[in-house]
Amino acid sequence: MFSGCRKQLLALGCFLVGSAAAADLRICADPNNLPFSNQKQQGFDNEIASLAAHALGRTVAYTWAPERGDSFVRKTILAGKCDVLMGIPSTYREVAPTKPYYRSTYVFVSRRSRHLNVRSLNDPALRKLRVGVHVISDDASNLPPAQALANRGLFRNIAAYSMYGDTSKPNPPAALIQAVERGDIDLAIAWGPLAGFFARHAPSPLEIAAVTPQVDRPYLPFIYSISMGVRSGDKDLLRALNAFLDHDADRIRAILQRYGVPMLDDANRILTVGP
């Protein structure tokens, strides 16, 4: 009954038991959210989920729902409609997080031809620039970039772009990066995986650079460790996923690099940035 398990997972306590060996690994995901996931399974979290399912001797099955904060979690994994969340902050406590499978940073995004060379939130040049940021409500101070700019009195410099956007169009969060391409804004501050992917596919060369300071005052982090999440009682599944993350770390890193994800090491040093 353990024929689908890798020997390495068996040594750490395989999740598959009896008839469960043929069960699906049920993933909660957004159907329109590249580079993370989409219904065609073209995102890096789709690839990593498939790799995890293979390691556990299972087949991926998706519960698709637009990702809208905590309501997404309540209506999917906590409602028992799926078993694994991809791409949650490792500090998130509505579910039990695995060990991180990557660590990334917010980045500045600009047209390479502009030679803006902004590297810090304290750069005086920001006072002369139109800076695009993602927001998740009508309050433009609810994500770290917008908060940091507002704390510096740069309200008039902020151009707010909805993280959720127009769901009738592909990849709504990409609108922020596309605004940089078109010249609608001078600069964007965006979550690194999203920026790295769309910068890599932009028709005009874009430059991305990690935001500094990495933790702004009073305590506003721009770097995050990212995990998978399971329900708090699913301890066997949690152990199996952690074993997978250890065993397949190199393959996971290769997938993330292929998608242009800026990654940090445990000391917050940049391993990769940019397309």
Domains 7-102+226-272 and 103-221 share a fold: yes
Cα dihedral 221/98/260/266 (nearest 10): 60
Q: Model confidence over 47-102: pLDDT tens digits?
A: 999 999 999 999 999 999 998 877 899 999 999 999 999 999 999 999 999 999 99
pLDDT at 18 over 60: no
Q: Tell me how far apart the alpha carbons of residues 155 and 157 are, in angstroms, rounded to a whole number.
A: 5
Q: Domain segments of the chain: what residues?
A: 7-102+226-272, 103-221
Q: What is the DSSP letter of 169?
A: S
Q: Are 159 and 175 in contact (CB under 8 A)?
A: no
The CATH homologous superfamily for domain 7-102+226-272 is Periplasmic binding protein-like II (3.40.190.10)
pLDDT at 273 over 70: no
Q: What tokens were used for 32?
A: 């329109």
Q: Are 180 and 110 in contact (CB under 8 A)?
A: yes
pLDDT, position 3: 39
Q: From 16, 83, 115, 131, select the one nearest 229 (Cα to Cα).
A: 83
Q: Tell me how far apart the alpha carbons of residues 243 and 141 are, in angstroms, rounded to a whole number.
A: 38
H or E segment and range at residue 87? strand 84-89
Q: Model confidence over 139-185: pLDDT tens digits?
A: 544 799 999 999 999 999 999 999 988 888 899 999 999 999 999 99
For 214, residues 6+ apart whose C-beta sits below 8 A from its C-beta are: 105, 221, 222, 223, 268
Listing DSSP states for 24-41 in one string gives EEEEEE-SEETTTEETT-
The CATH homologous superfamily for domain 103-221 is Periplasmic binding protein-like II (3.40.190.10)
Q: Are 173 and 33 in contact (CB under 8 A)?
A: yes
Residue 220 exposed, middle or buried by CB count within 10 Å (0-12, 13-18, 19+): middle
Q: From 189, 36, 176, select the one nearest 102 (Cα to Cα).
A: 36
Instruction: Please state the pTM of the whole predicted model.
Output: 0.88
pLDDT at 21 over 70: no
Listing DSSP states for 171-193 in one string gives -GGGHHHHHHHHTSSSEEEEEHH
